[in-house]
Chain A
């Protein structure tokens, strides 16, 4: 078995786009100000008026005929590669691309299908957009990256699991560098589907709050550039932060509800901590999945109490971005890393009153953090649980 302690993986680039900002700098400003950029959906016609978190503007250069999900992925990847200082300069390296998504994996174009049903004709522009829209392949092609390419479709853990997959590639020397994260657009399918499940809030979401009424949907992309420490050091640089551990587990319980005893999430968390070779006490904060649904927040809260104790600092950033589904794990890994960089976490937007059933509360104001380690958790339909451990350099 590999000695994971000998396989340091550096996080060398970050990129993010969401309703909270068109890049990471804008996002941190939004977090600091506590701004919540939500409104009823404007991207497509719908009878559903729930607040949603739409990206305000995607730079035109990323509109290359592909899906909105792809445009978001390209935008965040560009920022991450520039941040890593390797954009356009990777021909000698094996660079893998691993993206998580939900929307980009399906031909779920209502107008295409309506036309097919009514006339029997296929709108080939929709078909081509789908067939030429595999996120990993197009991102690799666009940025001239040569290495493994995979798209993870694990619903809401997709982004985190894509990062975990990239970590496995790097540890196993499948590639030298990996671009990893998640991307998803807001679309009618997710909106109507989540509405049908009765878990969309008609007001702004309130993760962990006693009066939470469900989630708001959002969209965006979050991307990390990961490099084996040896490759990064060969570029004459010293890593500032690391991806230390990844844990994943299945609930094997229910398609759309987490296992009530939280053992799946706990297992993923403990695996990630073990891989990082740290104790729960070493963790300075947790960026929780925190969707603001009754079940998710209750179970996450119970598991955090069990694993980290009642005093742990945690937050959900979904009050700023909405639930971005396949992008969530990517965005939240970026936010977690950025928080270690800047030394603070924002207030968990939407939280006001402690839920006695949860028993612990997220941070309710901008909070300084000390320590090297942070955790990001993700849960998903299908019973997937994932956890990432991120560290700043000593």
Chain B
């Protein structure tokens, strides 16, 4: 972390749920296959449809992991499955009731489909006849409850929300917890969902890529987006691990001068969600490969989490995935083909709507 005592952490395991499936094999397959047009989400209010990278419902019907979680909504099910898979991927076994695992989840918008369901209740049945189940599930930290429950984890647990940088803040918090000895491992990740209301808001507030093709290297002042959703979790630790994917070397949400050691690849989380993307033009692109994979999982405020998962696969597999959309008006050195490569360091960069930069650096 910039100007701090935090020195990085190992990624022992990862789990993802996204429009292309569940698990690292699905992510690898989607990254290799490249762009696939998203579903069109129909809305009577919109009087039409917009592209949305939604997670297919069948992916969320795991009767083993989600057994006993009949009441959990989509948001929670995405979170639980990605978190569970990250632990399974690591091979680390946590004893029931252990407090050695912390959980930190980031979300920009939280379980808003359940929130709107609760508002339906208020409007339809009156404020004295609403569903307690909908109310309790509309709280942001419901997902971390389900994760703690499925793992019977009694360690610290927190949920952070912010529109652009919540995943970055979650990483900083995870490393701080490890440094303080609050826990030996942290499950850190992000979850966000789409919903017709938010898609409608997106259609009003953003320029939508009607073909789903998010052009990440246009660096336009009026960029285009295609809403996405999903969950991504990392099991991180300071301890040595048998087969770590790679390391989170640093994360910062402020004071992000160009990092001293240049990355081999810079991933841009320019997905049309945060207004003008012109600040990406100001980065030093000399001798750096540019990459961006938002068209694999859609535009989402936790996109950096998915980019970090892609980066981890690239570092571990020592390969570059071809960018799914290769429009390149600024002549960057794009990752154009999926091919073996020697990669030591990948930086994931995101700017918010105020033009502030946040970055995450992953190393082998």
Contacts and interface: CB of A to CB of B under 8 A. Distances in A.
Interface of A: 1-2, 4, 46-48, 94, 102, 105-108, 110, 113-114, 116-117, 120, 122, 124, 127, 131, 134, 136-137, 146-155, 161, 165, 168-169, 171-174, 188-189, 191-198, 248-253, 255-256, 263-264, 267, 271, 380-384
Contacts of A151: 160-162
B163 A131 contact: yes
Interface string B54-78: 0000000000000000000000000
Interface stretch (B19-27, B115-123, B282-290): B115-123
B8 interface: no
Given A150-B162, A267-B99, A381-B141, A197 B136 contact: yes
A151 B148 CA distance: 20
Interface in B93-149: 97, 99, 103, 109-110, 112, 115-116, 118-120, 122-123, 126-132, 135-142, 144-145, 148-149
Contact of A2 (B5, B44, B141): B5
A64 to B, nearest CB: 16
A311 B109 CA distance: 45
A169 B176 contact: yes
A255 B69 CA distance: 11
Contacts of B44: 120
20 contacts: A94-B3, A105-B110, A113-B120, A122-B201, A146-B255, A147-B254, A148-B253, A150-B160, A151-B162, A152-B158, A153-B159, A154-B141, A173-B3, A174-B6, A191-B127, A195-B127, A252-B152, A256-B136, A381-B142, A383-B145
Nearest to A259: B154
Contact of B180 (A2, A117, A120): A2
Contacts of B299: none
Q: Which of A94, A136, A147, A382 has the most CB of B within 10 A?
A: A382
B116 A113 contact: yes
A390 B15 CA distance: 39
Contacts of A120: 44-47
B1 A4 contact: no
B176 A127 contact: no
Contact of B119 (A94, A110, A124, A196): A110
B200 interface: yes
Contacts of A1: 179-181
Contact of B136 (A188, A249, A255): A255
Contacts of B173: 150, 165, 168
Nearest to A275: B180
Interface in B269-306: none
B181 A252 contact: no
A194 B128 CA distance: 10
Q: Which of B109, B157, B200 has the most CB of A within 10 A?
A: B157
Nearest to A107: B112
B254 A146 contact: yes
B103 to A, nearest CB: 7
Contacts of A173: 3-6
Chain B's interface size range is 35 or more
B254 A48 contact: no
A161 B158 contact: yes
A4 B180 contact: yes
Given A113-B123, A153-B110, A196-B131, A248 B158 contact: yes
Contacts of A253: 149
Contacts of A153: 110, 139-141, 159-161
B128 A250 contact: no
Contacts of B123: 110, 113-114, 117
A122 B200 contact: yes
Q: Which of A134, A173, A255, A264 has the most CB of B within 10 A?
A: A255
Contact of B156 (A47, A249, A255): A249
B330 interface: no
Q: Which of B144, B156, B172, B201 has the most CB of A within 10 A?
A: B156
A308 B254 CA distance: 42
B205 interface: yes
A110 B122 contact: yes
Contacts of B119: 108, 110, 113-114, 189
B197 interface: yes
Nearest to B157: A250
Contacts of A2: 5, 179-181
Contacts of A255: 136-137, 142, 145
A47 B126 contact: yes
A23 B185 CA distance: 41
Contacts of B205: 124, 127, 131
A47 B127 contact: yes
A54 B5 CA distance: 43
B34 interface: no
A122 B166 CA distance: 26
A285 B84 CA distance: 40
Given A106-B112, A149-B169, A168-B177, 12 more contacts: A48-B128, A94-B255, A106-B138, A113-B119, A134-B162, A134-B163, A148-B169, A150-B173, A168-B173, A173-B3, A198-B132, A252-B154
B180 A171 contact: yes
Contact of B4 (A122, A155, A174, A271): A174
Q: Which 4 A-B pairs have the closest CB atoms?
A: A193-B135, A153-B140, A120-B45, A248-B156
Nearest to A268: B156
B136 A381 contact: yes
Contact of A249 (B5, B112, B154): B154
A226 B115 CA distance: 34
Given A105-B110, A192-B130, A264-B154, A252 B148 contact: yes
B95 to A, nearest CB: 13
Contact of B149 (A116, A150, A252, A267): A252
Contacts of B141: 153-155, 380-382, 384
A102 B161 CA distance: 10
A174 B173 CA distance: 10
A116 B127 contact: no
A102 B180 CA distance: 27
B153 interface: yes
B158 A154 contact: yes
A267 B154 contact: yes
Contacts of A113: 116, 119-120, 123, 197
Interface string B176-219: 11011110000000000000010011001100000000000000
A197 B145 contact: no
Contacts of A147: 254
A121 to B, nearest CB: 8
A150 B158 CA distance: 11
Contacts of B99: 249, 267
B286 to A, nearest CB: 28
Nearest to A117: B123
A193 B130 contact: yes
